Amino acid sequence: MSFTGNYSCNTLRSGLANGTINFATGTFKMALYTNLATLDASTSAYTSSGEATGGNYVAGGQVITATTGTDATSFGSTTFINFSSPSWTGSITAQVVGLTIGGNSFAISWKQILVSIISVPFAILIAQLPLKSLKWFAHRSLGIAILFMLLLIPFGRDVNGNTNWVSAGPFDFQPSEVAKVFLILWSAYVIENNFGDARKITIRLTIGFAMVLAIVLNGGDLGSAVVIGLVLATLIYLAGAESKYIAGIAIAGIVGVAGLVAMQPYRIARFAAFIHPFAEDVYKNAGWQPAHS
C-alpha cells in the first residue's frame, strides 16, 4: 500500500518504554517521502524506496538534534523532547512522481497526449459517415454503454475506494467515460425520434440513464454519477420537459449525493481536495482526479 496517514513506529514506542533509545548520544535523521513509499507502524529502519528527490534534498535525510527538558506543572514535572527543525530548499512536484513511476517527466501525461492524438483521425472518419449509419449506431448506443460498464464486474480494479477502472495492456481507462459518449449519442436519437413529446423523451432518457447509473454507483464512483446526472438533467431541459420534472430530478440528485458523501469519509476528502488538489498530502490520493481534470 502507499503511505497515507500518520504513524508512530512500534520500534520507537517500545524503545521509549524500555530505555534503549538514547537521545543524548544517538543520531537522528528526518527523511522525506512521497506517497509511493510503503511506510506504516511496523516500519523499523530507513528505506530509500519512495524517498523524495528534488531541490537540495539528499537521500537519507537530514540530521536533527534532540534536546530534553522538564516542565513543571501543578501536577508535577513533565519531561519533553525537542528536535531541531530541518529545512530544504526547492520543491517536490508531480514531475518527480512521474520520474519515479515511469522514468521520465511525462510518465503521467503521455497516455492522455497519445489518446488525444489517436482520436483525431477517428473523429475525421466518423464525420464522413452517412447520417443513416450514424442513426443506426446511435439507436444501439445505450446497449454499448451498458456493455462497457459491465466490464467493471469481471475486470474492474479498486482505486481509492472506487471500482471504476479497467486495465487494457499499457492503458487504464474508466468505462464510465466511454459510456458518457454513447449515452449522449443515444439521447440524440431518442430526442430526434420523439421530438415534441417532452414527457416521452423524459421517461425514456431517465430509464436509460438510470440503468447506467446503477452500475456506476455499484462501483462507488460518485463523481461520474454526478456528471451523468447533470448530463441527463441538461438533455431533459433542452428537450422541453416541464420545470417540475427537472426540479424533481435536481432535488433527488442533491439529496442522493449529499447522503452518499456523508456515508463515506473518503468522499468528503475528495470534495475537500478540490480546494488544493496539488498539495503533497492529497495529490496522489483524493486530489489525483481534480489535478488532472
Are 257 and 191 part of one and the same domain?
yes
Are 170 and 79 part of one and the same domain?
no
Count of structural domains within the chain: 2
181 vs 4: which has the higher pLDDT: 181
CA 202, 203, 205, 208: dihedral to nearest 10 degrees? 170
Spatial separation of the C-alpha atoms in residues 106 and 129, rounded to whole Å: 35
The x, y and z cell numbers of residue 44, run together, are: 523499523
Are 194 and 268 part of one and the same domain?
yes
Spatial separation of the C-alpha atoms in residues 54 and 71, rounded to whole Å: 39
Are 144 and 286 part of one and the same domain?
yes
Are 66 and 179 part of one and the same domain?
no
180: in domain? yes
Instruction: Give 178-227 pLDDT, tens digit per residue.
Output: 999 999 999 999 999 998 888 899 999 999 999 999 999 888 888 888 88
Are 73 and 183 part of one and the same domain?
no
pTM to 2 decimals?
Answer: 0.57
Are 150 and 61 part of one and the same domain?
no
Are 227 and 144 part of one and the same domain?
yes
Sign of CA dihedral 95, 101, 107, 108: negative
- pLDDT computed for residue 144 by the predictor: 94
* pLDDT-derived band at 6, boundaries 50, 70, 90: low
125: in domain? no
Continuous segment of H or E residues that includes residue 81: strand 76-83
222: in domain? yes
Are 60 and 154 part of one and the same domain?
no
- pLDDT computed for residue 161 by the predictor: 67
99: in domain? no
27: in domain? yes
129: in domain? no
Are 171 and 288 part of one and the same domain?
yes
> Are residues 32 and 88 in contact, defined by beta-carbon separation less than 8 angstroms?
yes
- Written as one letter, the residue type at 262 is A
Are 150 and 283 part of one and the same domain?
yes
Are 63 and 164 part of one and the same domain?
no
Tell which of 83, 116, 131 closes a domain: 83
Domain that holds residue 75: 10-83
Tell which of 38, 60, 83 closes a domain: 83
